[in-house]
């Protein structure tokens, strides 16, 4: 039996953020069981791919000696294949194997570049020669030097997995879910609504249906705002960069790389897939964002 018109809220801490689910038009007990099942999967992803600590497979991957291989999960394979394809599509501006560079700039605590910094030079040169390869579910470190960091896309991927479970395993289609305030994935809206209302900054909102929205403030997540091609930290801005796409994984990847690309490069990236859109710092809308119905918050 469904609770028509009711929206049930659930949340869970994993992967360094608070994941949340809003389920509409379902019995509470049924919705609660579905949410608990989804959150169990989140915990598994957390232990496997978080990269924090030494017990997960990602930590073991980054400790691999040159020439050694390791069996990896289906989740890792999916993320790696997407990352490698997107790296090619962005001519290297998106690169999850630049983890050592991300960590360097995070620990440095300053965006100013010192060309005489021997530590940076060594890390950058090691990154450029490092290489991993995936065959089946076995990952090999072919050349040492680089390390993998999935923090720029893991929340989006987790949201996609949550949505897949709700629909495929539980038959729940009227829901919206997200990771903190940075990633939102809308499924079907409740009742006769045109979409789920989602805030965009302090003054605007839009209605989302079957669409993912990601937002990345430039003054946070600095480890993801490094240009792997130059090894330098990205230009700083107080305004967020936002992206829309069919999947939360793709939307989050777009925000990670969007701040690194020129306007023409961003437009070229968006024209390849009509469902992609970027809202650049400064408020300029590109791609699919031009077609969204933005309204003022009441």
- Write the CATH number for 227: 3.10.520.10
Q: Which segments of 145-247 does DSSP mark as H helices, in order? A: 154-170
Question: What is the radius of gyration, based on Cα positions, of the chain?
Answer: 20
More confident residue, 12 or 109: 12
Rounded CA gap, 60 and 132, in Å?
Answer: 13
**Given a cut of 60, is residue 11 above it in pLDDT?**
yes
Beta bridge partners, 198, equal 206
Average pLDDT over residues 251-278: 93
**Given a cut of 70, is residue 292 above it in pLDDT?**
yes
Q: What is the pLDDT of residues 202-256, one digit of tens each?
A: 888 999 999 999 998 755 544 457 999 999 988 766 788 999 999 999 999 999 8
Please tell me the predicted confidence (pLDDT) of residue 236: 62
Average pLDDT, the chain: 92
Helix (H) or strand (E) run with residue 283 in it: none
Proportion of the chain above pLDDT 70, given as a percent: 94
Q: Give the pLDDT band of residue 145 (cuts 50, 70, 90).
A: confident
**CB neighbours (10 Å) of residue 70?**
15
Q: pTM of the full predicted structure?
A: 0.94
Proportion of the chain above pLDDT 90, given as a percent: 76
| Total count of domains within the chain | 1
Helix, strand, or coil here: 216?
strand
Average pLDDT over residues 154-159: 98
Please tell me the predicted confidence (pLDDT) of residue 4: 60
CA quadruple 178, 182, 186, 192: dihedral sign: positive
Please tell me the predicted confidence (pLDDT) of residue 31: 98
Average pLDDT over residues 268-281: 93
**Given a cut of 70, is residue 281 above it in pLDDT?**
yes
Please tell me the predicted confidence (pLDDT) of residue 55: 67
Q: Give the pLDDT band of residue 293 (cuts 50, 70, 90).
A: confident
Please tell me the predicted confidence (pLDDT) of residue 210: 98
Tell me the pairing of strands 285-287 and 277-279.
antiparallel
**CB neighbours (10 Å) of residue 135?**
8
Residue pointed to by tokens 């050592």: 100
Both structure tokens of 28: 């509470």
Q: What is the pLDDT of residues 204-213, one digit of tens each?
A: 899 999 999 9
Q: What are the φ/ψ torsions at residue 212 (nearest 5 degrees)?
A: -105, 145
Rounded CA gap, 198 and 176, in Å?
Answer: 10
Both structure tokens of 166: 């709700």
- Give the structural domain span for 111: 1-298
Q: Which segments of the chain does DSSP mark as H helices, in order? A: 28-49, 57-62, 74-89, 99-108, 118-129, 154-170, 248-258, 263-271
Q: Is-contact 158 17, C-beta < 8 A? A: no
Q: What is the pLDDT of residues 19-65, one digit of tens each?
A: 999 999 999 999 999 999 999 999 999 999 986 655 689 999 999 99
Residue pointed to by tokens 């970027």: 278
């Amino acid at each position: 039996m469904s609770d028509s018109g009711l929206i049930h809220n659930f949340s869970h801490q994993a992967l360094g953020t608070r994941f949340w689910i809003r389920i509409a038009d379902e019995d509470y007990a049924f919705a609660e069981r579905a949410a608990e099942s989804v959150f169990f999967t989140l915990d598994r992803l957390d232990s496997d791919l978080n990269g924090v600590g030494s017990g997960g497979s990602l930590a073991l991957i980054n400790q691999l000696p040159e020439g050694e291989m390791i069996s990896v999960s289906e989740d890792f394979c999916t993320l790696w294949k997407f990352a490698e394809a997107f790296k090619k599509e962005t001519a290297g501006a998106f690169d999850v194997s630049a983890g050592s560079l991300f960590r360097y700039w995070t620990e440095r605590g300053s965006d100013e570049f010192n060309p005489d910094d021997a530590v940076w030079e060594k890390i950058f040169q090691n990154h450029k020669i490092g290489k991993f390869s995936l065959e089946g579910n076995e990952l090999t470190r072919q050349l040492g030097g680089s390390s993998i960091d999935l923090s720029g896309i893991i929340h989006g991927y987790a949201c996609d997995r949550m949505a897949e479970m709700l629909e495929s395993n539980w038959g729940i289609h009227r829901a919206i879910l997200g990771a903190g305030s940075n990633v939102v994935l809308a499924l079907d809206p409740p009742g006769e609504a045109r979409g789920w209302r989602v805030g965009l900054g302090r003054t605007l909102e839009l209605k989302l249906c079957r669409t993912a929205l990601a937002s990345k403030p430039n003054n946070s997540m600095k480890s993801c705002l490094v240009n792997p091609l130059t090894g330098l930290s990205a230009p700083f801005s107080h305004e967020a960069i936002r992206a829309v796409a069919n999947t939360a994984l793709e939307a989050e990847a777009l925000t990670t790389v969007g701040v690194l690309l020129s306007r023409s490069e961003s437009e070229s990236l968006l024209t390849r897939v009509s469902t992609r859109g970027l809202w650049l710092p400064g408020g300029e809308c590109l791609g699919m964002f031009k077609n969204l119905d933005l309204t003022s918050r009441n």
